[in-house]
């Protein structure tokens, strides 16, 4: 990605009025895209997006109401390079999921279900809608 485009996207991702963000089909997405998500963000959708790394710390975490993750299995990085790249701990350092009401997971299997369980653990008192697709 050209540096100018990268800088513009980083600025867009921090707009304080943003309530929903969808990252779709981004390979090698830089962690800086999610390092400074706006604190009022409520809806995050990661579709076929692969992060090179995730942030290690945040001052104010957005409190998500919904999270959707769709994994791709055909990427060069390996057969399970989507959803299972997110250990629960880095996700918890990126967003606050204690108020998550809706979770949608795609391509759920023996590799991704433990990750989904770790992601959903903090939502035990708030989750109202759960969608799991392509169980295999």
CA dihedral sign, ordered 111, 112, 117, 119: positive
| Residue 14 in this model has a pLDDT that exceeds 50 | yes
Query: What does each C-alpha distance from 126 to 19, 62, 73, 116, 119 come to in angstroms?
Result: 19, 15, 30, 16, 13
User: What percent of the chain stands above pLDDT 90?
Assistant: 21
What pLDDT shows up at residue 85?
Answer: 56
28-45 tens-digit pLDDT: 777 788 778 888 999 999
Longest dimension (CA), the chain: 43
| Residue 51 in this model has a pLDDT that exceeds 80 | no
- What's the number of domains the chain is made of? 1
108 vs 39: which has the higher pLDDT: 39
**Residue 29: φ, ψ to 5°:** -70, 125
Domain carrying residue 51:
3-132
């Amino acid at each position: 990605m050209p540096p100018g485009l990268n800088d513009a996207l980083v600025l867009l991702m921090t707009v304080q009025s943003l309530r929903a963000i969808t990252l779709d089909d981004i390979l090698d997405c830089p962690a800086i895209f999610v390092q400074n998500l706006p604190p009022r963000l409520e809806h995050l959708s990661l579709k076929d997006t692969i992060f090179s790394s995730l942030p290690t710390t945040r001052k104010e975490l957005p409190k998500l109401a919904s999270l959707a993750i769709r994994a791709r299995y055909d990427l060069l990085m390996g057969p399970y390079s989507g959803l299972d790249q997110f250990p629960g701990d880095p996700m918890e350092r990126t967003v606050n999921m204690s108020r998550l009401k809706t979770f949608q997971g795609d391509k759920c299997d023996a590799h991704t279900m433990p990750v989904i369980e770790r992601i959903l653990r903090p939502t035990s008192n708030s989750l109202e809608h759960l969608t799991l697709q392509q169980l295999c």
